[in-house]
Structure 1
Amino acid sequence: MLDDITELRTFVRIVGAGSLSAAGREMGLALSVVSKRLAMLERRTDMRLIARSTRHLALTEEGQALYDRAQRILAEVDEAEAVLTHGRVEPQGVLRVSAPVALGRAHVSPVCRDFVRAHPKMSVDLTLTDRLVELIDEGMDVVVRIGAPKDSGLVMRKLVDNHRIVVGAPDYLDRHGTPMAPSDLEAHECLQYRGVGTHWRLVGPGGKAAEIRAASRLRCDSGEVAHDWALAGCGLIIKSWVDVQPDLHAGRLVRVLPAWRSDPAPVCALFPSSRQLPTRVRLFLDAMVDRLSRFADGPREVGP
């Protein structure tokens, strides 16, 4: 049991400073005091947290797990104290976010960049991966996903409505022509990637559905590589509008079949609980909604 939060604060400071003596200087404490606090924490937790040598220290596996959680715990304690003392909160600590690669590069990364600029006491660890991240087990504060989870004990907040659209480079369309109906796609190079194979389903005016057998000589397990192929004029691609919107806006890609789109798959944020949501998480979610809402009317056809 942790009876004294100063032990936890000292542990976090030791890791951040890189040594016990450096932590002591930063905190204005004698080395013996810092060493005693660390020893007491290890005794209370019955774990070796830091492997020490004469030249450097390294976190043990248990120490790393405690360090990751301790930063969030201390940030929330500091926020609660700030509310009581000053009536307002300046977010601080580390925000850990995971997002799909394409969505992360296009939208989550800029939000993280602006977030640390606006809040000097904050830092962000952003993980981009297309696999399903286990939020609790991997120590994340927020996981951003495309498509609502089918079964989850986490809290979900929809950030924006989303669907896939068909796009291609102006150069490709100049050489191969522009599809005028979904059936025309079967005569085109339709780039394929993991999660998007040969079967494309599009929904058009009045809810009419079209089932397309898309063929391509270029297939990849990476949506980012397929996106690069589309930009290079290698074929058409069906992708979430939130992923391709920057390229549509810049004219690097053009939307084709503007009346047709995939079934909806909203962009969602998952987090452990809506009760006493940390300020850093709430502000990050609001910033994501603000950015994506600016593109919500977004997927428009852009001329070459």
Structure 2
Amino acid sequence: MDQIHLMNVFVAVGENESLAAAARHLDLSPAAVTRAIAGLEEQLGVKLLLRTTRNVRLTEAGSRYLDDVRNILTSITEANEAAAGVNSAPKGNLSVTASVLFGKNFVMPSIVSFLRNYPEVEVSAYFLDRVVNLVDEGVDVAVRIGHLPDSSLKALRVGQVRRVLCASPEYLMKNGVPQHPTDLLSHSIVAASGISPRVEWKFGGADEPTTVRMKPRLTVTSNDAAIDAVTSGLGICRLLSYQIAAELTEGRLKIVLADYEEEPWPVHVVHRESKFGSSKVRNFIDILAANLRAHPHLN
């Protein structure tokens, strides 16, 4: 059987965890899908799937093979597009992800500019306060804030941000300005994080690290809500500097304990392009990187 056909069938089965669902997705008969998987396993001499009466599961070898096959099929598609001249004019769908506030304030202007320049491209923007897996979720470009784990993804550094503590002038006038991280234990804390009864904030560099564990008065999962709370005078919150740039400029918030901040966090544009690349991704990254590097709140 054709190797690419077998790989496509295997990817469909692995992603749907069902032979029947893969058959519907590929418009093949269930018997054809079963033959393809059996032929692939025989060719490789390894069990890729564990079948039950309800569904199928990938074996450990099958899981590794699925990742490899996805990359191979993506490279084949991109090589075909390059040979066919698709790279000469950006077209098709481009998917982008970033955190909610960063996406709205920093990525959207680049998307708008990109769409104006390339009328044959559509963009799907996923602004979410979680890390989107580019490979598993099929996303082309992401903006990551923080130190990157080792991976096969390609990264381009475009700036940096600070993790800062902030409060309203009214709150600080009423409750005093903390002079040391341990002073936070006597303050009202707003936590912008996952719901947890306590938060643990680390301060300073490697020479003199300090960790303070506190019980927040308010814990929210939305940075917008945390900013509203501290701007209203509820307490002290830790946020990224770009998130409160407007409030700092307008004097509605002030930074505290700046001398105890950690090292700035890098900002990267991350993508999963192969050596062939596609013009839509390359051109968008060029626009996005230039805009972010020029932004005063990131450099």
TM-score between the two structures when normalised by the length of structure 2: 0.63
CA distance in 1, matches of 2:250, 2:120: 34
CA distance in 2, matches of 1:47, 1:110: 43
8 Å contact kept, 1:79–1:91? no
SS in 1 for 2:161: coil
Q: Which residue of 2 aligns with 1:121?
A: 120
CA distance in 1, matches of 2:258, 2:173: 17
Q: Which residue of 1 aligns with 2:241?
A: 241
CA distance in 1, matches of 2:186, 2:107: 36
1:159-198 equivalences under 5 Å are 159-194=158-193, 198=199
CA distance in 2, matches of 1:240, 1:267: 12
Q: Which has the higher contact order (CA 8 A, sep 6+)?
A: 2
Query: Is 1:252 matched up with 2:256?
Result: no
SS in 1 for 2:134: coil
Q: Which residue of 1 aligns with 2:137?
A: 138
| Compared CA separation, residues 179 and 117, structure 1 to 2 (3 A) | farther
User: What residue identity is the alignment partner of 2:108?
Assistant: S
CA distance in 2, matches of 1:136, 1:259: 39
| Compared CA separation, residues 91 and 178, structure 1 to 2 (3 A) | farther
Structure 2: segments with no counterpart, 5+ residues: 3-22, 30-72
CA distance in 1, matches of 2:86, 2:273: 21
8 Å contact kept, 2:202–2:210? yes
CA distance in 1, matches of 2:174, 2:291: 35
Query: Is 1:156 matched up with 2:140?
Result: no
Aligned length: 232
Query: Is 1:226 matched up with 2:230?
Result: no
Q: Which residue of 2 aligns with 1:81?
A: 85
CA distance in 1, matches of 2:241, 2:287: 19
CA distance in 1, matches of 2:298, 2:260: 15
8 Å contact kept, 2:161–2:297? no
Structure 1: segments with no counterpart, 5+ residues: 2-41, 49-68, 84-88, 300-304
CA distance in 1, matches of 2:129, 2:154: 20
Q: Which residue of 1 aligns with 2:281?
A: 281
User: What residue identity is the alignment partner of 2:85?
Assistant: E
TM-score between the two structures when normalised by the length of structure 1: 0.62
SS in 2 for 1:180: coil
Report the alpha carbon displacement of residue 213 of structure 1 after superposing the two structures with TM: 3.0
8 Å contact kept, 1:79–1:279? no
Q: Which residue of 2 aligns with 1:112?
A: 111
8 Å contact kept, 1:106–1:246? no
User: What residue identity is the alignment partner of 1:244?
Assistant: I
Q: Which residue of 2 aligns with 1:65?
A: none
SS in 2 for 1:251: coil
Q: Which residue of 2 aligns with 1:202?
A: 203
| Compared CA separation, residues 182 and 105, structure 1 to 2 (3 A) | same
1:261-276 equivalences under 5 Å are 261-276=261-276
User: What residue identity is the alignment partner of 2:154?
Assistant: V
CA distance in 2, matches of 1:122, 1:235: 45
SS in 2 for 1:153: coil
CA distance in 1, matches of 2:84, 2:164: 44
User: What residue identity is the alignment partner of 2:232?
Assistant: A
SS in 2 for 1:160: strand
SS in 1 for 2:177: coil
8 Å contact kept, 2:155–2:270? yes
Give the alignment's Cα RMSD to 1 decimal: 3.7
User: What residue identity is the alignment partner of 1:199?
Assistant: E
SS in 1 for 2:202: strand
Report the alpha carbon displacement of residue 126 of structure 1 after superposing the two structures with TM: 0.6
User: What residue identity is the alignment partner of 1:140?
Assistant: V
Q: Which residue of 2 aligns with 1:18?
A: none
User: What residue identity is the alignment partner of 1:265?
Assistant: W
SS in 2 for 1:259: helix
8 Å contact kept, 2:161–2:298? no
| Compared CA separation, residues 105 and 297, structure 1 to 2 (3 A) | closer
CA distance in 2, matches of 1:241, 1:80: 45
Q: Which residue of 2 aligns with 1:95?
A: 94
| Compared CA separation, residues 182 and 293, structure 1 to 2 (3 A) | farther
Report the alpha carbon displacement of residue 155 of structure 1 after superposing the two structures with TM: 1.9
User: What residue identity is the alignment partner of 1:157?
Assistant: L
Q: Which residue of 2 aligns with 1:211?
A: 211
